[in-house]
Structure 1
Amino acid sequence: MATYLTPGVYIEELSTGSNSIEMVGSEVAAFLGVAPAANKHLNEAFACNNWQQFVREFTAEDSESTDLARSVYAFFCNGGSRCYVVNVGKGGSVVGDARKRTGLYCLEPIDEIAIVAAPGYTDKTTQEALKTFCENRQDVVAILDAARDAEKNIDALKQVGSEEASDAGAKPADAPAVKGLLPSGSDRGFTALYFPWVVAADPLNPLQKVATPPSGFMAGIYAKTDVHKAPANQVLNGALGLTYMLTHQEQGELNRLGVNCIRSFPTSGIRVWGARTLSSRSEWRYVNVRRLFNSVEESLAKGTLWTVFEPNERILWNSVVRNVSAFLTRLWRSGALKGATPEQAFFVKCDEETNPQEVIDAGQLIIEIGIAPVKPAEFIIFRIGQWAGATPVEPQSAA
């Protein structure tokens, strides 16, 4: 405490005990693959903030385009603003090596990543590695591409692959046909699959049209869409066509299995027409629900760091409830949570019941939180019947 000797007015700044929790960003993506200049920034997570920067860092004179380059271009065309690029080099593996810090392991120290994709890699080993990476981190979703040759046999997309489509890291175009082309699901909804591939102009050779993995387009749409909204019913900027034109019935069968379809409509263009994850559990069925929980969980973790080593008693409990409730109230007001009132949208509990003496003695503080996420209106149903019209009422004369 300060000592005052001279008469006068003194001002002291006091902590109000308010520690605001802010929503973390969810727009940064990471792409892994082979760059046009295959030896540049090899197995280094390099941040790119625009397409021109990618061209400077990952291309050389007369270098040929790759799925990675085309997907990064599609990302920026569709609303993306920042991404990390990992060039695994020719013959390199997306899965990588933990000790050498290659492939996916390059991304482990980078906290801001919320989306990850390996454009064009549809082998089982790579897609399983992407799923495991996201499930371990719990703050990233993986966008998967359907196999390039799935259009030759749509029924193969309805069966989970039981064998390798190719060796780890091999490109799908080189892979032998397998019976099942549907990736195994993530029960907690950390993966989403898109079909078919998109026909677009090659960014390094604009006069040439090429089949492009959909993951780059979708990563851009994810990046520009609020986490609580479904990244669907949006136009794919730069798309000139599709490698396969789905029928209404075909999409119905694929949608049930969690395959998000991209459709071409005569009057509204080429749009993504699905918003599901590959989870079999209804609570994690939609991409926006998974992304919302990722953002909320990370925001809470970062916004409550101040509680570590604080005295574990009622004053701390009340402060946590107040700060978390204020954060969730703002989230509810933004439309991310359903309910007419905050009480219907969420609850926060931190008291003697959640923190009995044995929990306190173990050095733990337990807060129970429940939130009610909004879910997309996937099926719009108008119930219409014939109506005979209003029958006029004849006025009755007085008797």
Structure 2
Amino acid sequence: MPTYLSPGVYVEEVSSGSAPIAGAGTSVAGFIGIFQRKSPAGYYINKISQEKVGVGDGNKKIFSLKNYPVATDKESVTLPESIPKNSEFKLNNVTNDKISNIEFTSAPPDKSEIIIDYWTSVSSGEIKLITNFTEFKQFFGDFTKDNPEQNIFAHAVYGFFRNGGTRAYVTWVSDTKDVDGVLNDFEAIDEISIVVAPGQADANIIGKIKDHAAKMGDRIAILDCQPATDLGSETKPTVPGFTSYAAFYFPWIQVYDPATKINIFVPPSGHIAGVYARVDGERGVHKAPANVPLLGALDLQFNISKAKQDRLNPQGVNVIRKLNGNILVWGARTLGGDANLEFKYINVRRHFCYLKDSIDKGTQWVVFEPNTPELWAKIRRNISAFLTLEWRKGALFGTTPQEAFYVKCDAENNPPALRDLGQVVIEIGVAAVKPAEFVIFRLSQWSGTKE
């Protein structure tokens, strides 16, 4: 308490004890690539000599070969073709700001263009935060014609950034058994809200990714179908189970491949993750990520008719269709569709993930506060203010805040027995906004006069 010695007016700042709830992020993806690093011919780095000394750690020399595994001092590396014997080729070491030479012990390949790029060494299972495709190339390599699985992974990450993604945690593993370790590491990254394993249709891997998303409760998995599989040709299409924490897309899309300079088919999951990010930024997470173009998609592996989609949509297969010359995402359901009841739509599930995550992070101040009616009132005000902002954005249904949500935290749901356990219970109900999936116009002839 301050001491006042002379007459006058004194203004003091008093902490409210709480802070406004900020909306959590919804557009950060976690990418898992599963592939073996391949090259046709092997060589060994024998000597690395420094020509230019700059700022940095001189003991750490990290180099790479375009489209091929990382090369570090005394490590085996692989090169695809021959270059003149005893030649040396310069690599710019970005980490150390030095220029170094590589000398080969055996006849190296004969095209200097092979040694033109730089990577930081990324081991299997190591996770890197990537903010653009240039960074991805530095860490994981460019498009490549010699490794189809790695090329699919590169196209997926490229499609993510091309379609509006801005942040992704990226890793690769050489064995499917290592996926468990990556998912465990993803659990510690609260920022991730979308999980993608491009091109993976193995039931075991899909099951692990689905379980991870459901366990975390703050993210959704985007799944791919098998390549060259026309799901709509079956009477009852086979989909990988059902869960409201995953979405399944079909078919594969055609893109231009810089490595082979031809058009190829790739799984759509990376591009779809970018669409999620774009729609979140432009409209909000409550908007269904559908009826929007897939940037970079030139064509589809299968053209989907309305009759075919009629069989797929109830199962939760989100179809990508070619309509009026555009490649559009034409589905907005979680995996299993009608079986998921109240979380049938992707935007409803993702919006609830967003609300849970935002409220969780924004009410940490409550922990260890005195469990009194004064605390309950603060909690109600805190959460109601946040949900009112959501309603004003159009993310909740109702003409008034009272119709859109309620927050209950009082003596009725916090009786003495719960308070003795150290618990404070808050009950929240929200009216979710559902997409207009079926637009129905009823037309009839009219004579122009009233009866």
| TM-score clears 0.5 | yes
Choose from 347, 368, 371 the match for 1:312. Answer: 371
TM, length-normalised to structure 1: 0.85
In the alignment, what sits opposite 1:176?
none
Which of 228, 240, 258 lines up with 2:286 in the alignment? Answer: 228
The 3 A distance-change label for structure 1 pair 152 and 17 is: closer
CA distance in 2, matches of 1:154, 1:114: 33
Tell me which residue corresponds to 1:162. Answer: none
**What is the Cα-based RMSD across aligned positions, in Å?**
2.1
Please say which of residues 258-267 and 328-337 is displaced more in the overlay.
Answer: 258-267
Cα shift readout 1:307-333 (whole Å, capped 9, x = no counterpart): 000000100000000110010000000
Closer, same or farther in 2 for the Cα pair 1:78/1:140, shift >3 Å? same
- Corresponding residue of 1:116: 195
Q: 2:254·2:300 contact (CA, 8 Å) conserved in 1?
A: yes
Mark the CA change 1:155 to 1:331 in structure 2 (over 3 Å): closer, same or farther.
same
- 2:440 aligned to 376, 381, 385, which one? 381
Asked if 1:366 corresponds to 2:425, the answer is: yes
* Aligned match for 2:320, one of 256, 262, 265: 262
Query: 1:56 maps to what in 2?
Result: 138
Task: Give % identity.
Answer: 45
* Cα separation, 1, equivalents of 2:178 and 2:298: 29
Find the counterpart in structure 1 of residue 179 from structure 2: 95
In 1, the alpha carbon distance for the partners of 2:68 and 2:10 equals: 65
| CA distance in 2 between partners of 1:206 and 1:378 (Å) | 39
Residue number in structure 1 paired with 2:16: 16
Determine whether 1:138 maps to 2:195.
no
Q: After TM superposition, give the deviation of residue 281 of structure 1 in Å.
A: 2.4
- Report the Cα distance in structure 1 between the residues aligned to 2:5 and 2:313, rounded to whole angstroms: 77
Give the 5 Å matches for 1:244-263.
Answer: 244-263=302-321
Alignment of 1:51-200 (within 5 A): 51-59=133-141, 64=147, 65-89=150-174, 91-93=175-177, 95-96=179-180, 102-151=181-230, 154-155=233-234, 158-159=236-237, 181-186=238-243, 189-200=244-255
Sort the Cα spacing of 1:182 and 1:9 in 2 relative to 1 into closer, same or farther, 3 A. Answer: same
In the alignment, what sits opposite 1:216?
270
Question: Does the aligned pair in 1 maintain the 2:406–2:430 contact within 8 Å?
Answer: yes
SS in 2 for 1:32: strand
Q: For the structure 1 residues 60 and 199, does the alpha-carbon distance in structure 2 shift closer, same or farther, using more than 3 Å as the test?
A: closer
Deviation at 1:5, TM superposition (A): 4.9
- Partners of 1:152 and 1:282 in 2: how far apart? 23
Given that residues 22 and 362 in structure 2 are in contact (C-alpha distance below 8 angstroms), is that contact kept between their aligned partners in structure 1? yes
- The alpha-carbon distance between structure 1 residues 53 and 3, as it changes in their structure 2 partners (threshold 3 A), is same
Q: Does residue 241 of the first structure (1) align with residue 299 of the second (2)? A: yes
Letter in 2 for 1:276: R
* Residues 17 and 41 (structure 1), Cα distance of their counterparts in 2 relative to 1, 3 Å cut: same
The answer to whether 1:390 aligns with 2:432 is: no
Residue identity matched to 2:14: L
Whose radius of gyration is greater, 1 or 2?
A: 2
Q: What is the distance in 2 between the residues matched to 1:11 and 1:79? A: 48
1:66 positional shift:
1.9
CA distance in 2, matches of 1:218, 1:208: 22
Residue 290 (structure 1) aligned with residue 369 (structure 2)? no
Equivalent in the alignment of 1:163? none
Contact 2:18 2:365 in 1 (8 A): no
- Indicate conservation of the 8 Å contact 1:43/1:106, yes or no: no
8 Å Cα contact 1:94/1:118 also seen in 2: no
> Secondary structure at 2:12's aligned position in 1?
coil
- CA drift at 1:106: 2.5
Q: d(CA) in 2 for partners of 1:256 and 1:13?
A: 57
Partners of 2:242 and 2:340 within 8 A in 1: no
1:118 & 1:38 partners in 2: Cα distance? 21
User: Which residue of the other structure, out of 328, 347, 351, is the alignment partner of 1:271?
Assistant: 328
Distance change >3 Å, CA 353–CA 232, structure 1 → 2? same
SS in 2 for 1:193: strand
The structure whose residues are more often strand, as a share, is: 2
State the alpha-carbon separation in 1 of the partners of residues 11 and 327 from structure 2: 63
- Give the letter for the 1:46 counterpart: K
Q: Which amino acid aligns with 1:21?
A: I
Q: Which runs of 5+ in 2 are unaligned?
A: 36-66, 71-121
Is 1:49–1:82's contact at 8 Å kept on the other side of the alignment? yes
Cα pair 2:17 2:365 within 8 Å, conserved: no
Relative to structure 1, is the Cα distance of residues 153 and 335 closer, same or farther in structure 2, using a 3 angstrom cutoff? closer
Q: What letter corresponds to residue 334 of structure 2 in structure 1?
A: T
- For the residues of structure 1 that align with 2:376 and 2:151, how far apart are their CA atoms? 53
Contact 1:44 1:106 in 2 (8 A): no
Q: Retained in 2: the 8 A contact 1:32–1:94? A: no
| Cα deviation, residue 38, structure 1 | 5.9
Q: Please say if residues 93 and 103 of structure 1, whose CA atoms lie closer than 8 Å, have aligned partners that are also in contact.
A: no
Question: Which whole-Å deviations, capped at 9, do the CAs of 1:216-235 have from their partners, x for residues lacking one?
Answer: 11000011222100000000
What secondary structure is seen at the aligned counterpart in 2 of 1:301?
A: helix
Deviation at 1:17, TM superposition (A): 4.4
Distance in structure 1 (CA, Å) of the matches to 2:8 and 2:429: 51
Structure 2 distance, partners of 1:201, 1:93, is 32
- Which deviations, in whole Å up to 9, do the C-alpha atoms of 1:92-133 show, x marking residues without a partner? 44633xxxxx33223121110000010000010011101100
